[in-house]
Amino acid sequence: MIIYKTFQFDSAHYLPNVPQGHKCGGMHGHTYTLTVYISGKPEEHSGWIIDYTDLKNGIKPFLDILDHKLLNEISGLENPTTENLAVWLWQMIKPIFPDLVKIELKETPTSGVIYEG
């Protein structure tokens, strides 16, 4: 069984490696939507894989690093494409939640990335 929880955060960034004149080369922002997927077997007594509150509390420190920040200034995100941000998030989240199986990160309602480690 896989459970999920969705989070949002707002960040600014610019992409330093795009061609001259590309609109993403200038500073701009996104309201990102992050969905975290955890796999497991529901625990017999509680009936759940993980308490959603525990999941929320475990993800919050990473969102605090990103929310209302310039992503380019965060170590490891000097080229903060959505793909690179998804890998960064995975590397932060996986040690806390070993049963993480997938994250989905949207930079707009219609564009994003799915990363499975």
Q: Is 107 a catalytic residue?
A: yes
Q: Is 22 a catalytic residue?
A: no
pTM (two decimals) = 0.94
pLDDT for the residue numbered 87: 98
* Number of domains making up the chain: 1
pLDDT for the residue numbered 111: 97
Tell whether residue 30 is among the known ligand binding residues: yes
Name the active-site residue from 68, 73, 78, 83.
68
Domain span including residue 33: 2-115
| CA 9 to centroid of chain Cα atoms | 9
**Helices (H) and strands (E) in the chain — how many of each?**
2, 5
pLDDT for the residue numbered 35: 98
Give the number of other CB atoms < 10 A from CB of residue 107: 19
89 touches 7 (CB < 8 A): no
Report the CATH number that the domain containing residue 46 is assigned in CATH: 3.30.479.10
Query: 28 Cβ partners below 8 Å, 6+ apart?
Result: 12, 13, 14
pLDDT for the residue numbered 73: 98
Tell whether residue 13 is among the known ligand binding residues: yes
**Amino acid present at 1:** M
**Tens-digit pLDDT string for the chain (117 aa):** 999 999 999 999 999 999 999 999 999 999 999 999 999 999 999 999 999 999 999 999 999 999 999 999 999 999 999 999 999 999 999 999 999 999 999 999 999 999 999
